[in-house]
Amino acid sequence: MSKSKTVNPLSPLALYNLVSAAGWAYILYTVVAWYPVLGQPEYYLRTKDIVILIQCGAVIEVFNSALGIVRSPIVTTSAQVLSRLLVVIGIFRLLPETPATGSIAYVTLLSAWSITEVVRYIFYFFTLSFKSGPPTILLFLRYNLFLILYPTGVASELTLIYSSLSVAEQKYSVYAKYCLIFSMLTYLPGLPMLFSHMVVQRRKVMKSLREGKTSQKKD
């Protein structure tokens, strides 16, 4: 890559991505350093509030997409953010006693979310801050890790939501239970839409990387 030339690393959008990356890096740190020591359900009780806070910050991305500040599609951005808010607000906040929150599903959820977001936010920070763009390794991780992390995250989310059904019915009403069931059904069209979007983007990026390597060999 050519030498990096700074664009504006202190812009509000760049700083938002940097702070968000730091927040999710902290969550990833707790998975690696705290969970083996604390175990479950203590790990969940110690971390759920900070996870709620950090994830709620992603609402900003919906507004950025709607206002055209970023190029991310409003439909896919909203779908991803809302599905996560359902988990952190609907379960961690309103139904904290959900059985699966004290299981390995919570740990796999945070692992998938945090790795994905650290890579994504750092990727965006480099994109906004340097004309040379993100390093090749970051580009590769951004458009390949999702093949494993996305299904892992979705499976963990669905496990948590399913586990919360009986708690929702007892604590609130049968209507709350059916609302959660409906939210699970939305994954049927949502999952293929979000995943296929990333697959299309991956195909473009990997093609450009291959062409770049071929060009370098010719030179």
Catalytic machinery residues: 150, 157
Q: What angle do CA 181, 186, 190 make, to 5 degrees?
A: 150
Structure tokens that stand for 183 in this block: 């939210």
CB 28 within 8 A of CB 20: no
Report CA Rg, the chain: 19
Q: What are phi and psi of 130, to 5 degrees?
A: -135, 135
Closest C-alpha among 123, 151, 157 to residue 55: 157
H or E stretch covering 173:
none
Beta carbons within 10 angstroms of residue 126's beta carbon: 19
Check: CB of residue 30 under 8 Å from CB of residue 54.
no
Q: Is the dihedral of CA 68, 78, 92, 113 positive or negative?
A: negative
Q: Is 213 left (phi over 0), alpha (psi -120 to 50) or beta?
A: alpha
